[in-house]
Amino acid sequence: MGPGYDIIGDVHGHAMALEALLAAMGYEHRAGTWRHAERRAICVGDFIDRGPENLRACRIVMEMTEAGGVQAVLGNHDFNHLALATPDPDQPGTFLRPHIRKNLHQARLTLTEFAREPQAAAVLAWLRRLPLWLDLERG
């Protein structure tokens, strides 16, 4: 039988709630990241938008992925934020997701937070590396 998995989705910038959830599921914060002795987490995206700690929520999952304690996929909110931040190579001066009022309003909290944080570039680079799906072994 393979390892046990904990599926975590829709963090939406609520880092404190994510940490409370991890603690409630038996994860411990040690050596700079959250770990579980027997199980691994699978985070199914939407790490940003809506909450007050988008960058910290991403950093928690990012540190867990780097330590091998979690696998993560990109959510639609994460994808939309990357598209807002990525210039369109075919149309100079525009972005892959248009900077119209609706799109900017939806990502307002994340955009504001990321604009003032130097570590946002590292988080965006991490988000760009996330897959859209996982192909897990069957036990």
In this predicted structure, what is the pLDDT of residue 4? 84
In this predicted structure, what is the pLDDT of residue 1? 42
In this predicted structure, what is the pLDDT of residue 137? 72
First to last CA, the chain: 6
In this predicted structure, what is the pLDDT of residue 139? 56
In this predicted structure, what is the pLDDT of residue 37? 92
In this predicted structure, what is the pLDDT of residue 44? 97
**Number of Cα atoms under 13 Å in the Cβ half of residue 35:** 8
Q: Which of 20, 54, 52, 22 is nearest to 36 (CA)?
A: 22
In this predicted structure, what is the pLDDT of residue 138? 67
Residue-wise DSSP of the chain: ---EEEEE---TT-HHHHHHHHHHTT-EEETTEEE-SSEEEEE-S--SSSSS-HHHHHHHHHHHHHTTSEEE---HHHHHHHHHHSB-TTSTT-BSS---HHHHHHTHHHHHHHHT-TTHHHHHHHHHH--S---PPP-
Low-confidence ranges of the chain (pLDDT < 50): 1
In this predicted structure, what is the pLDDT of residue 122? 96
Token reading at 72: 């993560």
Q: Which of 53, 72, 51 is nearest to 61 (CA)?
A: 72
CATH fold for the domain made of 4-129:
Purple Acid Phosphatase; chain A, domain 2 (3.60.21)
Domain boundaries, the chain: 4-129
